Amino acid sequence: KAGVTQTPRYLIKTRGQQVTLSCSPISGHRSVSWYQQTPGQGLQFLFEYFSETQRNKGNFPGRFSGRQFSNSRSEMNVSTLELGDSALYLCASSLENANYGYTFGSGTRLTVV
């Protein structure tokens, strides 16, 4: 069974640009969550989508947004990129809830220069 697929794996963007990251969850998983991982802060929760609706949201500015499509695939967008947005962005999928844990993708490494 295919795992969680994130594209692209690596991105280099310039300050002020915007970026869109994509995530395809495991087949049958309807919940998709996004995390930002940095060496200093660890994993920080961005948001969770379930059945095309945002169900939970972390404490990130409005420049970070996401959406989920009817096939459960999800995208996240970051506008007006800042140097501090450089991080590994991880997508995780689960069944309706995450009581039995997430399955993570390998992440998208975003570098803002």
Partner 1 sequence: QKEVEQDPGPLSVPEGAIVSLNCTYSNSAFQYFMWYRQYSRKGPELLMYTYSSGNKEDGRFTAQVDKSSKYISLFIRDSQPSDSATYLCAMLDTGNQFYFGTGTSLTVIP
Least gap, CB of 104 to partner 1 (angstroms):
3
Give the range of 14-22, 31-39, 62-70, 79-87 binding partner 1 by CB under 8 A: 31-39
Least gap, CB of 57 to partner 1 (angstroms):
10
Interaction of residue 34 with partner 1, rule CB under 8 A: no
Kindly tell me which residue out of 2, 28, 41, 53 binds partner 1, with binding defined by CB under 8 A. Answer: 41
- 8 Å CB contact between 45 and 58: yes
Residues 52-111 that bind partner 1 (CB under 8 A): 55-56, 90, 92, 97-107
Give the range of 11-19, 42-50, 65-73, 76-84 binding partner 1 by CB under 8 A: 42-50
* Strand locations in the chain (E): 5-7, 10-13, 19-24, 31-38, 42-50, 53-57, 64-68, 74-78, 87-94, 103-104, 108-112
C-alpha pair distances (Å), 95 with each of 29, 51, 62, 91: 5, 11, 27, 14
Kindly tell me which residue out of 19, 48, 49, 68 binds partner 1, with binding defined by CB under 8 A. Answer: 48
Residue 61 token pair: 């500015």
